[in-house]
Structure 1
Amino acid sequence: MCLAVPGEILNIEGADPLMRQGRVAFGGIVKRVNLAYVPEARAGDYVLVHAGFAIAVIDEEEALRTLECLAAVDTRGDST
């Protein structure tokens, strides 16, 4: 099963369409993400990220709703 996680693009580096990267925030964690598949993405946009690649630009409401669902199934706590 594959899972894509939404994050917000903080900034973008690089002009080469295949090597363009963004710093993307995922609820307090920031990662570098390849933006080759979303050439229309801009800083401030929310993207779905899978395996280090942004695969789609999504609206903020959808991103926040998805993050809420992921938080609801957080398994780090005690399950007993």
Structure 2
Amino acid sequence: MCLGIPGEVVEIMTDRPDLAQVDVSGVRRAINIGLFEPGEINEGDWVLIHVGFALSKIDEAEAAAAMDFLKSLGDAYADELTALRSSTID
């Protein structure tokens, strides 16, 4: 099962402005933010991530509600975090 997972943007990559470092439940990784206009996504913003792409910008309350729901799924959420830990964008 593939899920959209909320993540907090912690850094916009200066050498690759189409990438941002996000934190998802303590897992940090680069995601593609190329679907947004430059400057539309900033550090501290929350985004909904699917297959390595930020699909939408969400507020912190939406992110918290989504995380609560995802945690309630148990194994599916754990599997998604495992996949996130092992994935990379080059």
Q: CA RMSD in A?
A: 1.8
For 2:10, what is the secondary structure of its paired residue? strand
- Contact 1:20–1:35 (Cα < 8 Å) also in 2: yes
Runs of 4+ in 1 over 6 A off after TM superposition: none
Pairing partner for 2:21 from 10, 20, 23: 23
Aligned length: 74
- With structure 2 as the length reference, what TM-score do the two structures score? 0.73
State the TM-score, normalized to the length of structure 1. Answer: 0.81
Which of 2, 12, 35 does residue 37 from structure 1 map onto? 35
Q: Is the 8 A contact 1:33 1:54 kept in 2?
A: yes
Tell me the secondary structure at the aligned position of residue 3 of structure 2: coil
Q: Counterpart of 2:58? A: 58
- The structure, 1 or 2, with the larger RCO (C-alpha pairs under 8 Å, 6+ apart) is 2
Q: Which residue number in structure 2 is paired with residue 69 of structure 1?
A: 69
Letter in 2 for 1:46: W
Aligned residues with identical type, % of pairs: 34
Structure with max Cα Rg: 1
Deviation digits for residues 17-39 of structure 1, max 9, x if unmatched?
A: xx521110000101100110123
Q: Which has the higher helix share?
A: 2
